[in-house]
Amino acid sequence: MKQRTIARPVESVGIGLHKGMPVRLRLEPLDAGSGIVFYREDAGVSIPLHPDFVVDTQMATVIGKNGVNISTIEHFLSAVYAYGIDNMRVILDDAEMPIMDGSAASFCMMLDEAGIEEQSAGKEILRIKKEVTVREGDKYVTLKPSETARFDFTIRFDHPVIAEQRRSFLFSKQAFVKEIARARTFGFLKEVQYLRSRNLALGGSLENAIVLDDTKVLNPEGLRFEDEFVRHKILDAMGDMKLLGRPIFGAYEAFAGSHDLNHRLTLALMADSEAYEVVTLKVEESREFAKSFA
C-alpha cells in the first residue's frame, strides 16, 4: 500500500462553532512524506499535525504555533484518518474548523469529491508493541497491541437518554462511513447557556449538535443512532489519534475518555520508544491492510 493524498483541491464554507462566523476551508494535495499541514492564510502560519503542537484540549482539540491557533480539528481528522490520507494541506481563513453538522459526514463528502491519489512512497503505520495507558480517577484511555485495528469506548452519564453506552468498532473506511461518521457532537442546554455567556458556542445550534435538557433530546428529528453519543466519542478518538500522523495498528480502548486524555496518551506513547514502531508496509502486508481503506 502506498501513501495517499487527494487527487484535486476542494473547498467549502461553514460556520465556526465558537465565533459563529463563516470559515472557508480548502484542501490541497501535498507530496509524499509531507504529512498533514494546516495553514492559517489570514495569519500566514503553517502548523504541522503533531502532538507537540496541541495547545488546548478543554473544549476541543486545538493546535497552534507562534500564538496562531486552529480549534475543533477532531471531526475533520477522523475523516482524514478513515480515508487513509497521509499528505494534505488544510487551508483556513480563521481560527476554527467549520462545525458543519457536528459530525464528520460533510468532511467525508469533501474527500469523496476530491478523490484519492496513491503516491510512490510506501505507507507507514504505527504498530503498537506495548500497552500504554493514561488514567484520571476512574477514567482511562489506552493503546495496546492487537492483530486488528479497533476502537472500543464506554461512556456513562447521569442522564436518562444516555446512561451507559458501549461500542466496539473494528476499523474500516466503509464501516466508518456507515456507522461512525454521521454521529454528531452533543451537549447539555445548561452548558450551552453558560458557554454563550462567555461568548463561546455562538455558532452552536440544533443544526450542528445534539442538545439535551435534563430529561430529553431537544432536536426535533431525534437521534441518528440509538447510541449516537458513544459513536461520536469513537469519532473524536479517531480524530485525536490522527495527531500521531500515521494509522494505528493496535487497539484503542477508553472509559469516559476526553480530548485531554487522548492528547496525554499520544504524548505518553511518543515518549516510550519501546511501545511502538513505525513500519513501512511490505507488499504482502499492504494488500490486507489496504482492504480497510477501500
**Nine-digit cell at 230?**
458513544
Catalytic: 159? no
Q: Is the dihedral of CA 78, 82, 84, 88 positive or negative?
A: negative
User: What is the bridge-based pairing of β-strands 88-92 and 22-29?
Assistant: antiparallel
Whether residue 269 contacts residue 276, with contact meaning beta carbons closer than 8 Å, is answered with yes
75, 232, 259, 263: which one is catalytic? 259
Q: Please tell me the distance from the alpha carbon of residue 249 to that of residue 263, in angstroms, as a whole number.
A: 18
Q: Please tell me the distance from the alpha carbon of residue 39 to that of residue 89, in angstroms, as a whole number.
A: 7
Angle between helices 228-241 and 74-82 (to 10 degrees): 80
CA angle 35/12/26 to nearest 5° reads 30
Whether residue 68 contacts residue 40, with contact meaning beta carbons closer than 8 Å, is answered with yes
Report how far apart, in Å, the C-alpha atoms of 287 and of each of 34, 106, 281, 290 are.
23, 29, 9, 5
Runs of H (alpha helix) within 8-71: none
CA angle 240/170/142 to nearest 5° reads 45
E strand or H helix that includes residue 173: helix 173-175
Give catalytic residue positions: 259
